[in-house]
Amino acid sequence: MRIRFSSADCKPCALKENCTRSPRRLLTPRRREEHAALEAARAREADETFAEQYRWRAGIEGTLSLGVRALHLRRARYLGLTKVHLQHVLTAAALNIGRIADWLAGETVASTRRSPFARLISQAA
């Protein structure tokens, strides 16, 4: 179900800029069960235990991202389960050796990437 407001209704409204940038407003309400699940998920995200679990997840996703970018982790070079497993083990070892080398060299872990737009805004402020 979608609710469409007429552009004739939205155009004279003083709060249109706060509501939408398009000529008219379009709303898509969720079913009651979907809305309740979304509200429960948002409440769970506000909890401190979720933040701790997410920190772990973010670290793991950073490791996977590094493997994908640097070592082409998504593409298997070999055929057969045994050879692909060996590739995964060697890829993990290469990641660990790279991290140990960075640690011994005193390089710090990179902070979260900031978009060019966010950097521009922080420089302007």
pTM value > 0.75: no
Task: Give the angle subtended at the CA of 53 by the CAs of 52 and 58, to the nearest 5°.
Answer: 100
Q: How far apart are CA 89 and CA 116, in angstroms?
A: 35
The predicted-structure confidence for 44-55, as pLDDT tens digits, reads as follows 988 888 888 888
Instruction: Tell me how far apart the alpha carbons of residues 2 and 4 are, in angstroms, rounded to a whole number.
Output: 6
Helices marked H in the chain: 7-10, 16-19, 32-45, 48-71, 81-105, 116-124
Q: Per the structure, how many domains does the chain have?
A: 1
Q: Say how many CA atoms lie within 13 Å of 125 toward its Cβ.
A: 6
Q: Which pLDDT band holds residue 94 (cuts at 50, 70, 90)?
A: very high
Q: Is residue 39 part of a domain?
A: no
Residue 81 included in any domain: yes
> Would 116 be classed as within a structural domain?
yes
Residue 80 lies in a domain: yes
Inside any domain, residue 43: no
Question: Which two structure tokens, joined as six digits, stand for 111?
Answer: 């902070």
96 in any annotated domain: yes
33 lies in some domain = no
Cα 39 from Cα 16, distance rounded (Å): 26
* 84 falls within a domain: yes
Note the pLDDT tens digit of each residue in 39-82: 999 999 888 888 888 888 888 888 888 889 888 888 888 999 99
| Residue 10 near residue 25 (C-beta atoms within 8 A) | yes
Query: By residue range, what is the domain housing residue 98?
Result: 76-125
**Residue 60, helix vs strand vs coil:** helix
